[in-house]
Amino acid sequence: MSSPRFDFLSPTRIAWGWGRRSEIGGHAARLGRRVFLLHGSRTLERSGVVEEAAERLQSAGVAVVRLGGTFGEPHVAEVDRLVAEARRHSPQVGDLVCAVGGGSALDAGKAVAGLAVCSQPASVREYLEGVGNGRTIDRPPLPILAVPTTAGTGAEATKNAVVAGREPSFKKSLRDDRLMPTVALVDPELTVSNPPQVTASSGMDAVCQLMESILSRKSQPMPRRLALGALPGLGEALRIAYRDPADRPAREKLAFAALQSGLALANSGLGLAHAAAAALGALLEVPHGLACAVMLPVALKFNAAERPSEMREIAEAFMGRGFSRAESAAAALIDAVRELNRDLGVPDRLGALGVVESAVPQLVQLSAGSSLDGNPRSVTPEELNDLYRSLI
Ligand SMILES: [Fe+2]
């Protein structure tokens, strides 16, 4: 038996805590003298969070170049536009990217940090796994200061940016170890304004990432401990934050779990539920967290026999009780996830999200890729076909 070997990637600094967004200027000033600032949704803009960030950056002596907002999951054209805008300002050493928003905005920020400095301008499509032409980032990316405003994707601690495209539809990753944010500034107070549906879908994304990373065939010891440590009390915190958005302990628990889920997936990979979520998002624009939530019980069931002891560990951590048999642990875990979905208003069928039978062949095709490669049990196209059909 060979002894273990692993690498562990993480942000250089994680600054975590209630109200710590006020420190954004100091963090940026340690990373550079000029910042390309971009942010997520219009709600975020209206809330004053972005303006406050810009002011704090300026008062710390950092020049601010506003790249503006990026709304919804980033598409090729949107990323190309942001990169072109950054390139117009001749990015150089001493510049950094600051992204404030949900996973989509943070991913857009990573793409800008990587592509704005490349020697030749080229569309992000050329760099994407599976659909690109193998082009790679040929110069060191700008440092990234990531400030998440949702609790779920963990994008503040991952090394990839998910980008969507049309004709043909796809959702693929721009991936490079150097796209791991330099600083993740995680202020759980920023998530208090998330509406219940966003809390639910982003929270279920984190739940799914934690469980899939533990089961993954690329699973590593450090992220596994982190992911298991995030599971106790997570379902209850999600229920509380869904009902009472201002509950501070619940918001803190969710933000911490999301961060741990990002570290876990960046180092261990994911699985079937995320592969399906990418396909559902690409073809039918099903929101990522919702797709993960619906797919998770099915993915757990599909993988249960392949990873019995991990399923038991997950069940015990997530449900807070012991199980004498692996089979009963797996069944109880699947029920517990279904019950959590119900309590959060998440449907149990893809049909409720607008998925129709005629879409299944394309969904099967679009599911291939890095997440599916991490799934502990190999999945044939026929099995995928049956899984999708069983959920409509
Ligand atoms: Fe995810």
pLDDT at 99: 98
- H or E element that contains 186: strand 183-186
Distance 326 CA to ligand 1 centre (A): 26
Query: For the chain, what's the residue count?
Result: 392
CA of 267 to the centre of ligand 1 (A): 14
Under-70 pLDDT residues of the chain: 1-2
Distance separating alpha carbons of residues 353 and 83, to the nearest angstrom: 33
Question: Do 101 and 41 meet the contact criterion of CB atoms below 8 Å apart?
Answer: yes
Bridging pattern class, strands 13-16 and 144-148? unpaired
pLDDT of residue 315: 98
Other CB atoms within 10 Å distance of the CB of residue 75? 18
So what's the pLDDT on residue 322?
Answer: 97
Cis ω for the linkage preceding 195 (within 30 of 0): no
pLDDT at 206: 98
CA separation for the pair 288, 259 (Å, rounded): 17
Q: Could you tell me the distance, in angstroms and rounded to a whole number, from the CA of residue 292 to the centre of ligand 1?
A: 7
φ and ψ of 231, to 5 deg: -75, -35
If you measure from the C-alpha of residue 133 to the centroid of ligand 1, how many angstroms do you get, rounded to a whole number? 25
| CB atoms inside a 10 Å sphere around CB 66 | 13
Query: Measured in angstroms, how far is the CA atom of residue 215 from the centroid of ligand 1?
Result: 15
- Three-state DSSP state, 90: coil
Compute the distance from residue 381 Cα to the ligand 1 centre, in Å. 22
d(CA 209, ligand 1 centre) in Å:
6
**What one-character-per-residue DSSP string does 265-293 give?**
HHHH---HHHHHHHHHHHHH---HHHHHH
In angstroms, rounded to a whole number, what is the distance separating the alpha carbons of residues 151 and 205?
Answer: 9
Q: Which two tokens stand for residue 200?
A: 């639910």
Collect all residues with Cβ–Cβ distance below 8 Å to 201 and sequence separation of at least 6.
152, 287, 288, 289, 290, 293, 346
| pLDDT for 168 | 87
pLDDT at 157: 98
| Residue 42: per-residue pLDDT | 79
> Structure tokens of 307?
């990873």
* Residue 108, number of CB atoms within 10 A of its CB: 31
- Residue 163 has a pLDDT of 96
> How many angstroms does the Cα of residue 289 sit away from the middle of ligand 1?
6
Q: What is the whole-number distance in angstroms between the Cα of residue 275 and the centre of ligand 1? A: 10
**What element of type H or E holds 184?**
strand 183-186
- The reported pLDDT for the residue numbered 289 is 96
Distance CA 371, CA 243 (A): 32
175 CA → ligand 1 middle, Å: 15
Contacts of 69 (CB under 8 A, 6+ apart): 38, 39, 40, 41, 42, 44, 45, 50, 105
As beta bridge partners, residue 100 has 39, 147
Burial of 7 (0-12, 13-18, 19+ CB in 10 A): exposed
Ligand 1 centroid–CA 1 distance in Å is 33
Residue 158 three-state SS:
coil
Measured between alpha carbons, how far is 170 from 94 in angstroms, rounded to an integer?
Answer: 34
Residue whose C-alpha is closest to residue 103's, from 2, 184, 195, 170: 184
Q: Work out the angle at residue 87's Cα, subtended by the Cα atoms of residues 86 and 91, and round it to the nearest 5 degrees.
A: 85
**Residue 206 Cα to ligand 1 middle (Å):** 7
CB 228 within 8 A of CB 214: yes
| Cα 262 to averaged position of ligand 1 atoms, centre (Å) | 9
**In whole angstroms, what is the distance from residue 360 CA to residue 377 CA?**
21
